[in-house]
Structure 1
């Protein structure tokens, strides 16, 4: 499979660990209300980020038989990175994570890769600065 990467920059660093959870329904706003700081949609996947509390939500947004996938990575200190992988299957299902399971270092750039598990999927690359 040829890997295709699409890129956009918003400023970021990296996260670690594998996150798989029971699918939940999509949330139009982060816990506690308000609006998401960042929302990206690509290839049947929508990733939402609320920097305060390190709240991350990935939703499968396509009835295509493939899972939505997101990989986040950031530097904790020089030469040391942390990362997180989220995967969810089923159109309308979501999976999430927050600071109770990971700590995205303040002031670091987070690198984000969003795709689905299909053979022809492209990968969207974005960054954001975790400054909250």
Structure 2
């Protein structure tokens, strides 16, 4: 019975509260964060970490399109497909298209309402 009590206590400690903000795993030191209806995007320039989180139970996945506008090239699209509270991420350590060029302007087109209007932001990848 002691094992069951310990498991219950552990579950209670690690379970998120209903009011907890949606955030991707891997820390909280983000260089940029942007929000829109049903979506939140996080960027950590060092390591080219891009994360998208679904923040609304609206039946639509949150997504972000990552583009290198310095060379007019789409890098990749990323979707959080598990519903509200889920996130998806890519990092430079995955190589190839996920390793964004230094000192290039990176644009993000993101949305979380089922193609009902998207948001557009950009930053210079200089870290």
CA distance in 1, matches of 2:104, 2:87: 26
User: Which of 6, 23, 26 is equivalent to 2:23?
Assistant: 26
Structure with the larger RCO, 1 or 2 (CA within 8 Å, 6+ apart):
1
What corresponds to 1:63 in structure 2? Answer: 57
Higher strand share: 1
What corresponds to 1:109 in structure 2? Answer: 105
TM-aligned CA deviation for residue 116 of structure 1: 2.3
CA distance in 2, matches of 1:26, 1:47: 9
Provide structure 1 residue ranges, at least 5 long, that are not aligned to the other structure: 1-24
What is the TM-score with the length of structure 1 in the denominator? 0.69
Provide structure 2 residue ranges, at least 5 long, that are not aligned to the other structure: 1-21
TM-aligned CA deviation for residue 118 of structure 1: 1.6
Structure 1 counterpart SS, 2:67 = strand
What is the TM-score with the length of structure 2 in the denominator? 0.72
How many residues are treated as equivalent by the alignment? 102
Higher helix share: 2
TM-aligned CA deviation for residue 64 of structure 1: 0.6
2:45 is aligned with 1:51:
yes
CA distance in 2, matches of 1:122, 1:56: 21
Q: How is 1:1-132 mapped onto 2 (pairs within 5 angstroms)?
A: 26-27=23-24, 31=26, 33=27, 35-75=29-69, 81-89=73-81, 90-101=83-94, 102-116=98-112, 118-119=114-115, 121-132=116-127
Alpha-carbon RMSD across the aligned residues, in angstroms, is: 2.0
CA distance in 1, matches of 2:109, 2:34: 10
Whether the aligned pair in 2 keeps the contact of 1:69 and 1:117 (CA below 8 Å) is no
Q: Detail structure 1 runs of 4+ shifted over 6 Å in the superposition.
A: none
